[in-house]
Amino acid sequence: MRLLPHSIKWKIAIFILIIGIAEGLAVAYMTYKEEVESAVERTRERIQTALAFTKAARGYVRSVLRPRIDQLISRYSCIQEDFILEAQSSSFFAGNIFRAVGEEMPDFRLRQVAFSPLNPKNTPNQMEKKIINYFRQTKSDSYEGIETLNNQRFFIKASAVKVKAKCLRCHGTLSAMPASVKEIYKPSRDPQWKVGNVQGGIFVYVPFETILLKAQIQGIIKGLVAFVVNILIVGVILVLLNRYVFKPVEVLREHADKISRGEIDDEIPIQSDDEIGQLGKAFERMRVSIKKVMDLLK
């Protein structure tokens, strides 16, 4: 069985086509890999920025807002509350800022969690527990990686929350806790955070599948473009070959056929000066010689 056709034209076309497909696939694959890498890198930078903002917001509450409002509360007895959640809880404050930022970066999610939390919503899930334990065991205070939660993969960056003495005012015992905090969260027992302990973590989540999907789409688009460009190049090469090689060869073959049948009167048309033109000229000289001999024989 023959795999390749007789015609050189089609052999070349098939050959270039196979190279085109291989190149399209290679470009698609390389683009995909590059896109994934650069998407991960971009995400990492964006998470870094998000975490930096979160930490800055927390720091601002702790060092500026909270002391200032404490001062006002103690100075003006007309203020009923002993604690103003919206301005004095760094977690509450940072969480709200992050939600607002989330409108710009909808993929991003922030979770501030701790064992024995004030707000039950901030109880660590299985994966967060694992990472908090990792902080405890390794003494490192940040973590970055791809983790699976509820069958979905996330790109995660986390930093450890270490307890300081001043945290105990609200996260220590019920008796020390501001009445307003008790009223809002109604804790049933002392949170009992211990100074120096890694109590929780701040987690930024970005779904990894969306990163992958974008990279896949880019890979497919660029691979297709490479493939189409290849097909166009193949087309142009075939048109050129047809015009300068295959057509003139066909004309020569027709005339050689005629000569072989004894029809030697038609002059062989020569259109070019290239290798095929030279071949044509040689044929023409041969035809003229044969004609002379035939005329002599008559």
Q: Parallel, antiparallel, or unpaired: how do β-strands 152-162 and 142-149 relate?
A: antiparallel
Among positions 146-165, residues that touch ligand HEC (CB under 6 A) are 161, 163-164
* CA gap 46, 39 in Å, rounded: 10
Query: Is residue 171 a contact partner of residue 193, using CB atoms and an 8 Å limit?
Result: yes
Stretch in the footprint of ligand HEC (CB under 6 A) among 8-16, 48-56, 88-96, 129-137:
88-96
Q: How far is the CB of 190 from ligand HEC (least distance, A)?
A: 13
Among the listed residues 46, 55, 108, 119, the single contact to ligand HEC using CB under 6 A: 119
Q: Which uninterrupted H or E stretch holds 95?
A: helix 90-102
Count the Cβ atoms, other than its own, within 10 Å of residue 29.
12
Q: How far is the CB of 136 from ligand HEC (least distance, A)?
A: 15
Tokens of 21: 């497909």
Query: What are the C-alpha distances in Å from 260 to residues 123, 186, 249, 253?
Result: 96, 109, 16, 10
Q: Does 54 bind ligand HEC (CB under 6 A)?
A: no
Binding mask 89-108 for ligand HEC (x = CB under 6 A): x-xx--x-------------
Q: Does 83 bind ligand HEC (CB under 6 A)?
A: yes
Considering the complex, state which of residue 67 and residue 235 has its C-beta at the smaller distance from ligand HEC.
Answer: 67
Which residues have CB under 8 Å from 194's CB, separation 6+? 163
What residues make contact with ligand HEC under the rule CB under 6 A? 83, 85, 88-89, 91-92, 95, 112-114, 117-119, 122, 161, 163-164, 166-167, 169-171, 181, 200
